[in-house]
Structure 1
């Protein structure tokens, strides 16, 4: 992690510099603590989104949907569900007489989240085009390269420290993702031209790179906050990202006249008009849980863990596709699953050893005595 002037940065929280040795010990302990229940909940949300999101988006295209701006908007339009936990936290803060200025995020975070939201809107559109022109296995393989992009951006943006275990984890899961592309049915979907297939291939790769940039930017934004970042700030940050990303996509829908096309597309949808709206609504909720979980993982840990978690879920997404869409599950996919699980275990084993080493070092330090 990086050290910013005026404070140490860890897990997206800025802590003031200690004024004495005793305060330094307390600050160090605070920085190393992890909110495990929140982290596990965030990981669960990421899993729901990473597995369910692509399946629902693909379901839209498989049965007659052909508007990329609609699926792009679907990925962030579920932001109203964030008001439920936000209102609950707000009422709790009022009962505890927390000042308004401490509950709501500062203007700097508002601006940063808005910019990231516009970038996410662009990323969603690129991903939607790729998913509409390439098979689900190919688009998933390409999008899994976000882990490599994320590792590079994390190193330069937030000075992410790499251990032998984290490097091994990135290598194994990147290798597992690449293996999914070997001897798989990579034929382009029916009705897709060579030019469209190549365009989808390229834009999916660009989308992976953009998302690999977004998560370190989220982590950097947390570190730039003047006040300690709590989970209510995280929710507001994600809400603002989703709103601006949705505005970006809705603008594209307006320019492309997609709003007028929704009713006609619903009437011609292969699964029926009611199912058409259910697919869009379910996709909006599932994708929103994915992004909410992502910012939670970055808040509790770091952006690299979020990328690793997404990568390890890729083979599980492939298994879900086999069940839902009767796709083949060959030896390469089984090997990729083993490699990704191995890489995930490697990362957490490295984190366990590092935490144990830090605890042992802290236990050996003499207790400072105030003069």
Structure 2
């Protein structure tokens, strides 16, 4: 829990962090991101399919699970207190970092609303494919904000994922619900696209916040930051709920829900928990590696979400979606192949430098004559 960033370096490259710890922490956050990234959209769509109609309520659910983060923070606090004594503070986040997280939280709350608006009007398979464009936005903003380096494979990946999502723009009349007009479908389409662009900006912004923070970044502090971000995002959505009278409508929706009143409340609670997994996993992967990798993993979850939507909700899977999915998978493979090549190249560089050094020493040594 006490892994630190020093000198603006990412913790995954930290010398004092064991390889086992690096892998375990990255694996943990990838797992959280996978659970939330696939389960969150499925459960949110279930809310709408079974009679839910409140956009602000569904937006609220995406970050309302922030109290869950208190438990691992408490575990970390007990562990730190046992080592450092009673003077250990429960929260270590400083005011300037708190303010930065508050701003990110408000942006996240607005993004929640855009996403929930789109999910309410689109099949989960379609909205998931649109969200794949988030990788292109993440890559672009990562280049601008944190000077992310790109290879030919990365550029190819971003291009394929973007084209794969644009294909969906030509698909409307057969994909929308029977009671939904073309206008509603396109509004949902572009609102989801806007949500993708905004969160594509938020991910590199979080990485930039890590780098510019005036204090050492530990994983415990990352959890505190996520809790602050989610709190302000939830507060933003709460204001929307109050203005839209959503709190007064919850009991009525529960009574009218197709799955029953008790199940309705269970769906709300579990949805909030899964979305918190998603957000905590996303910021954790940024902490362990980069915002671009976080975006890649989010996009990689696309086939899982597609399969779950077809399996549980019997959504259709037309030709356009198939083409988009193939292009997306091609993009994923391109990115990871490029990463493997870069890793192999970096591993070979020290060996090559050592060989050149030894060769230079041999050439510089005096030659004995008979």
TM-score bin, normalised by smaller chain: 0.7 to 0.9
Q: Report what 1:38 is aligned to.
A: 25
1:9 alignment counterpart: 8
Say whether the 8 Å CA contact 1:45–1:289 is kept in structure 2.
yes
What does residue range 358-369 of structure 1 map to in structure 2 within 5 Å? 358-362=346-350, 364=353
**CA displacement at 1:69 relative to structure 2:** 0.6
The answer for the alignment partner of 1:91 in structure 2 is 78
Deviation, structure 1 residue 240:
0.5
What is the Cα-based RMSD across aligned positions, in Å?
Answer: 2.6
Matched, 1:53 2:40: yes
Alignment match of 2:68 (pick from 54, 59, 81): 81
Deviations 1:149-198 (A, max 9, x none): 11111111111110122222222333444456666874322333444333
Counterparts of 1:310-321 in structure 2, within 5 Å, are 310-321=298-309
2:33/2:298 contact within 8 Å kept: yes
Residue of structure 2 equivalent to 1:140: 128
Summarize deviations over 1:239-279 as a string: whole Å, max 9, x none: 00011101111111111111111001100011111111111
In structure 1, the partner of 2:221 is: 233
Q: CA deviation at 1:136?
A: 2.5
* Aligned match of 1:357: 345
Q: Distance in 1 between matches of 2:144 and 2:247?
A: 41
Output the TM-score relative to the length of structure 1: 0.85
1:113 and 2:112 correspond? no
Q: Residues 102-251 of structure 1 correspond to what in structure 2 (within 5 A)?
A: 104-179=92-167, 186-251=174-239
Is contact 1:315-1:333 (8 Å) kept? no
Rounded to whole Å, the distance in 2 between the matches of 1:281 and 1:237 is 22
Deviates more, 1:68-77 or 1:169-178: 169-178
Compared CA separation, residues 284 and 63, structure 1 to 2 (3 A): same
Separation in 2 of the partners of 1:83 and 1:145? 32
Q: Secondary structure at the match of 2:217?
A: coil
TM-score calculated relative to the size of structure 2: 0.85
Instruction: For residues 293-330 of structure 1, give each alpha carbon's deviation from its aligned partner in whole angstroms, at most 9, with x where no partner exists.
Output: 00011111111111111112112211110100112345
Change in 2 beyond 3 A, CA 1:337/1:203: closer
SS of the residue 2:147 aligns to: coil
Counterparts of 2:119 and 2:249, CA distance in 1: 20
1:270-295, Cα deviation, whole Å (9 max, x unpaired)? 11111111111111011110001000
CA 1:191–1:224: 2 relative to 1, 3 Å: same
Corresponding residue for residue 278 of structure 1: 266
Shift in Å, 1:215:
0.3
Aligned match of 2:365 = none
Give the match for residue 312 of structure 2.
324
Task: Quote the residue 1:294 is aligned against.
Answer: 282
Q: How far apart, in 1, do the equivalents of 2:324 and 2:126 lie?
A: 14
| In structure 2, C-alpha distance between the alignment counterparts of 1:327 and 1:318, rounded to whole Å | 9
In 2, the alpha carbon distance for the partners of 1:201 and 1:181 equals: 8
* Residues 1:186 and 1:207: Cα distance change in structure 2 (over 3 Å): farther
CA drift of 1:100 comes to 3.9
Tell me how far 1:67 sits from its aligned partner.
0.4
Deviations 1:74-102 (A, max 9, x none): 00011111111110001111111076479
Question: CA–CA distance in 2 between the matches of 1:66 and 1:162?
Answer: 42
Paired with 1:127 and 1:289, the residues of 2 have a C-alpha distance of: 17
Task: Determine the C-alpha separation between the residues in 1 that align with 2:219 and 2:14.
Answer: 20
Determine the C-alpha separation between the residues in 1 that align with 2:156 and 2:204. 20
* Correspondence for 2:50: 63
In the alignment, is the contact (CA less than 8 A) between 2:129 and 2:325 conserved in 1? no
Partner secondary structure for residue 328 of structure 1: coil
| DSSP 3-state at the match of 2:8 | strand
For these two proteins, the number of residue pairs brought into alignment is 347
Instruction: Summarize the alignment of residues 250-261 of structure 1 with structure 2, pairs less than 5 Å apart.
Output: 250-261=238-249
- 3-state secondary structure, aligned to 1:9: coil
Residue pair 1:141, 1:181 contacting (<8 A) in 2 also: no
